[in-house]
Amino acid sequence: QLQLQESGPGLVKPSETLSLTCTVSGGSISSRGYYWGWIRQPPGKGLEWIGSIYYSGSPYYKPSLRSRVTMSADTSKNQFSLNLTSVTAADTALYYCARLRRQWLGDYYYYYYYMDVWGTGTTVTVSS
Amino acid sequence: SYVLTQPPSVSVAPGQTARITCGGNNIGSKRVHWYQQKPGQAPVLVVYDDADRPSGIPERFSGSNSGNAATLNISRVEAGDEADYYCQVWDNSGDHVVFGGGTKLTVL
């Protein structure tokens, strides 16, 4: 079955760039109808969506993070990645990657998304 | 920006029904999805599209959505249902995912 695995440095210095990769197995990131995303959870707090991307591009980012976030997808490696620049202690969190299913809401004429498969998460601490 | 409001905590005795609400402006016009997160684990989708269950999720989990509130119902609650539950929608006005703040379900 589909599995997602996050990887990347567990410790990042303030003002530097956080870079994470999600490797997908048991399925292709090029599958139609699915986006791929990142969600984080600060210690003791709730879930925060960071952004999502299609295999061919077309990213969506959380508005408050848009100036610092870049996501990309590599179909040859079946991976997608997150870059978050100028990190501070507030970016310390458990980071999850997930598959998002895209559905059409015909009554209102737009696509909507939800996370149907999650990775196990990776902890990132921002500290000098 | 669209806001989802959940009660911080809900307590229920074993065998009873737990009801977790998710409030939002005209949320009935959106599709609501629910996630269960047990301590130290990744979230798991338990209800999507207001009331549908993914494969492997017990029928005890059900959902509804109307007006300004969506509800996750867990019938015949078991100790193993103790977890944090999050509702989620897609905010089409800003093209982004929105999560509720989460509700901690305690089984007494």
- Chain A residue numbers with beta carbons less than 8 Å from the beta carbon of B33 are 114-115
Q: Tell me: the pLDDT tens digits for A62-72?
A: 999 999 999 99
- Chain B residue numbers with beta carbons less than 8 Å from the beta carbon of A47 are 35, 37, 43, 86, 88, 99, 102
The reported pLDDT for the residue numbered A57 is 87
- Chain A residue numbers with beta carbons less than 8 Å from the beta carbon of B44 are 118
Cβ distance of A61 and B96 shorter than 8 Å = yes
| N residues, chain B | 108
Mean pLDDT value across chain A: 96
Closest CB to B95: pick one of A37, A60, A119: A60
Q: Tell me: the pLDDT tens digits for B7-19?
A: 999 999 999 999 9
Q: Is B13 exposed, middle or buried (0-12, 13-18, 19+ CB in 10 A)?
A: exposed
Pairing type for strands B9-12 and B103-107 reads parallel
